[in-house]
Amino acid sequence: MSRETPLRCVVSDGEKSRQRAARLSLGVGLLSLAVAVSVTALVGSPPLSYQYVPLALSVVVLGLPHGAVDHLVLPRARGDPVTRRSLLLVGLLYLFVGTAYAVLWLLAPVHAFALFILVTLVHWGQGDVYALLALVRADHLKTRTSRLLALVVRGGLPMLVPLIAFPAQYAFVAETIVGLFDPDAVAALEPMFSPAIRTAIAIGFGGLVAFALLRGFFRTGPDGRGPWLVDATETLGLVVYFAVVPPILAIGLYFCFWHSLRHIIRTMLVDSVASTALDRGAIGTAWRRFARDAAPLTVGGLIVLVGIWLSVPQTPASVADVLAVYLVTIAVLTLPHVVVVTLLDREQRIWSP
């Protein structure tokens, strides 16, 4: 993408705030991967109870709060005031889309779970495409096709590599989630973890990752290979990370320090107050503003969690069950969140190069 594209001015007026945002997301992201991979390689997989910690923290730190400013981001990105009408529209979106998906969990939990994996793949992929374009200025992703390819690669890494590398833990979490709704339906998940399916995914997805990186390499623009190198480092780093670190831990850390951090930074850049603060290097000011903006609807998310806890047919009885209730809550909240982020993508011309 050339430096003159509209994205630049829509995303942020300040070059300094963009650079700070890029350094923060890349630095924290890669550091988290490196620490988790090194610890796992040196001392082995941490005990299961420790693996839950990042997901437990994500309830209040970065994870759940990252979507809790959805009612503010679109008006801010458009330079419009936040009005009662704009708040109501986002509220209704969450109410209808979230409720419809909650009903699907009750009626067809296996399908609802498959949809959860697909939605997460798309959503985490779209988040990284934004970061590559707006923060890293990836000029090897000029066309919509190359961006779609990047979406599938980046979203596929957290959803597919653990399935290949850690089928037992993946199956355990999947079966616990579906079991909350219908213990008899759990058997329908079995084929997903068969060696044949996993081998096919490994070959197909591995080929796609290699193809996307090579294609990008040959499409780097006049700015040199810097952005492509960032893309390749992140991609290969994530491959190793999800292949080595057990998924409950890996996804917990990724959710907080990769996806949510990047999205929060994105919300700061569309907010004139926070992005001016970032420009000045006043990172604390930007964070305090985010925390204040996100607090009320993070509490709202917790109320949804309680509602789902009370609605699941099987009473949660173990730590794994509690995680499963939390993941269903995330699923139900993520579907409307994806709609908001897709509208934000449109506002920032992520898909119309």
Ligand X SMILES: CC1=C(/C=C/C(C)=C/C=C/C(C)=C/C=O)C(C)(C)CCC1
Residue 151 lies near ligand X (rule: CB under 6 A)? no
Determine if residue 66 is labeled as part of a ligand binding site.
yes
Annotated ligand binding at 337? The verdict is no
Of 209, 269, 249, 320, give the one whose Cα is nearest residue 44: 249
Among 74, 141, 173, 253, binds ligand X (CB under 6 A): 173
Does residue 245 interact with ligand X by CB under 6 A?
Answer: no
Per CB under 6 A, 136 contacts ligand X: no
- The stretch near ligand X (CB under 6 A) out of 94-102, 147-155, 310-318, 326-334 is 326-334
Residue 195: how many CB atoms within 10 A of its CB? 8
Amino acid at 48: L
CA atoms within 13 A on the CB side of 249: 22
The token pair at 1 is 């993408």
68 phi/psi in degrees, rounded to 5: -80, 5
- Measured from the CB atom, is 180 or 256 closer to Fe ion? 256
Please give the structure tokens belonging to residue 208.
Answer: 């796609």
Surface-to-core class of residue 148, CB atoms within 10 Å of its CB (0-12 exposed, 13-18 middle, 19+ buried):
middle
Q: Which one, 56 or 232, has the nearer CB to ligand X?
A: 56
CB 287, min distance to Fe ion, A: 18
Contact between 107 and 346 (Cβ < 8 Å): no
Q: Is 155 in the site for ligand X (CB under 6 A)?
A: no
Q: Which amino acid is at 268?
A: M
Of 191-210, binders to ligand X (CB under 6 A) are none
- For position 298 contacting ligand X by CB under 6 A, the verdict is no
Interface mask toward ligand X for 248-287; x: CB under 6 A: x--x---x---x----------------------------
- Contact between 178 and 172 under an 8 Å Cβ cutoff? The reply is no
The site partner of 165 among Fe ion, ligand X, none (C-beta below 5 to 8 Å per kind) is none
Any known ligand binding at 71? no
Measured from the CB atom, the residue of 245 and 286 that comes closer to ligand X is 245
The site for Fe ion (CB under 5 A) is made up of: 263
Nearer to ligand X, 119 or 136 (CB): 119
Q: Is 336 in the site for ligand X (CB under 6 A)?
A: no
CB 328 within 8 A of CB 308: yes
Nearer to Fe ion, 177 or 335 (CB): 335
DSSP letter for each residue of 20-87: HHHHHHHHHHHHHHHHHHHHHHHH-SPPHHHHTHHHHHTTTSSTGGGGTTHHHHHHHHHTPPP-HHHH
Residue 170 contacts ligand X per CB under 6 A: yes
Q: Supply the minimum distance, in Å, between the C-beta of residue 348 and Fe ion.
A: 15
User: Does residue 111 have a known ligand-binding role?
Assistant: no
What CA–CA distance (Å, rounded) separates 65 from 78?
22
Which lies closer to ligand X via its Cβ, residue 174 or residue 305?
174
What is the smallest separation between the CB atom of 326 and ligand X, expressed in angstroms?
9
Cβ proximity to ligand X: between 232 and 322 the closer is 322
Determine if 112 is a binding residue for ligand X (CB under 6 A).
no
Q: Closest Cα to residue 125, out of 352, 351, 300? A: 351
Helix, coil or strand: residue 311: helix
**Total chain residues near ligand X (CB under 6 A):** 17
Query: Greatest CA separation found in the chain?
Result: 59
Write out the residues near ligand X by the rule CB under 6 A: 116-117, 120, 123, 162, 169-170, 173-174, 247-248, 251, 255, 259, 327, 330, 334
